[in-house]
């Protein structure tokens, strides 16, 4: 196994390997192929300390990681290999996350949840949290449906403004806590920023983002 790969198991049987993100990549927003000091993609992001990802995602590539990420949107079974791999990466590469007091999944709107039948970020968070002994708390809510496909970076930024809030009655849960927001794919980082802003507003003293992969711009492929 190479340094930038991780074994994926299905039951007790070796299934294949995921390709991991490797240097250079931005240690602020997780963008691959660029050193932190040269990355400009996090300049307009906000609310969080750092984005941590396991690999990279592209619509043109079809690595096993990318195939499983796509499949997760239709079948929550894929949260298991993806989630256990992500937990392993945290415990070996991103050990600072082990100090987190809570994992918080990016929420779906109730309409989106009914259509899909599950929240992939919540399924991931549950798998990741178990071996790391970090509790999962569903404290964020999505106030409306917002379609992101086909939007420019600037349009995505506007579309997520005010999109998230804390579930009523759960605001005190994040106060004075180090929390980690869990998502499947980080595309522009604006969803993560908006969620992090809400968590900080209600007293979380530190917010990090943990995702399966960071989307690579088509121009970089």
Q: Is 35 exposed, middle or buried (0-12, 13-18, 19+ CB in 10 A)?
A: exposed
Q: Is 55 exposed, middle or buried (0-12, 13-18, 19+ CB in 10 A)?
A: buried
pLDDT the model gives residue 2: 46
pTM: 0.93
Secondary structure, 3-state, 171-215: HHHHCCCEEEEEEEEECCCHHHHHHHHHHHHCCCCEEEEEEEEEE
**Res 10: pLDDT:** 58
Q: What is the pLDDT of residue 15?
A: 64
Domain extent at residue 71:
5-220
CATH code, 67: 3.40.50.2020
Asked if 161 and 194 touch (Cβ cutoff 8 Å), the reply is: yes
What is the bridge-based pairing of β-strands 164-166 and 140-142? Answer: antiparallel
Q: pLDDT below 70 — which residues of the chain? A: 1-3, 7, 9-15, 218-221
Task: Report how many domains make up the chain.
Answer: 1
How is the beta sheet containing 206-215 ordered, strand by strand?
51-57, 206-215, 178-186, 102-105
């Amino acid at each position: 196994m190479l340094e930038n790969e991780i074994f994926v198991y299905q039951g007790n049987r070796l299934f294949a390997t995921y390709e991991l993100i490797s240097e250079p990549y931005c240690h602020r927003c997780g963008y691959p192929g660029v050193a932190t000091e040269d990355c400009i993609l996090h300049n307009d992001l906000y609310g969080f300390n750092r984005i941590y990802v396991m690999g990279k995602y592209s619509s043109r590539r079809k690595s096993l990681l990318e195939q499983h990420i796509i499949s997760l949107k239709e079948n929550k079974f894929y949260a298991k290999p993806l989630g256990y791999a992500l937990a392993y990466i945290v415990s070996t590469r991103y050990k600072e996350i082990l100090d987190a007091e809570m994992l918080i999944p990016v929420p779906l709107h109730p309409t989106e949840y009914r259509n899909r039948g599950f929240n992939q970020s919540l399924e991931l968070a549950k798998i990741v949290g178990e071996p790391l002994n970090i509790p999962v708390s569903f404290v964020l809510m999505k106030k409306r449906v917002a379609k992101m496909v086909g939007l420019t970076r600037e349009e995505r930024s506007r579309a997520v403004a005010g999109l998230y809030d804390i579930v009523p009655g759960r605001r005190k849960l994040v106060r004075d806590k180090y929390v980690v927001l869990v998502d499947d794919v980080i595309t522009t980082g604006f969803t993560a920023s908006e969620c992090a802003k809400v968590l900080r507003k209600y007293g979380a003293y530190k917010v990090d983002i943990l995702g399966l992969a960071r989307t690579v711009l088509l121009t970089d492929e």
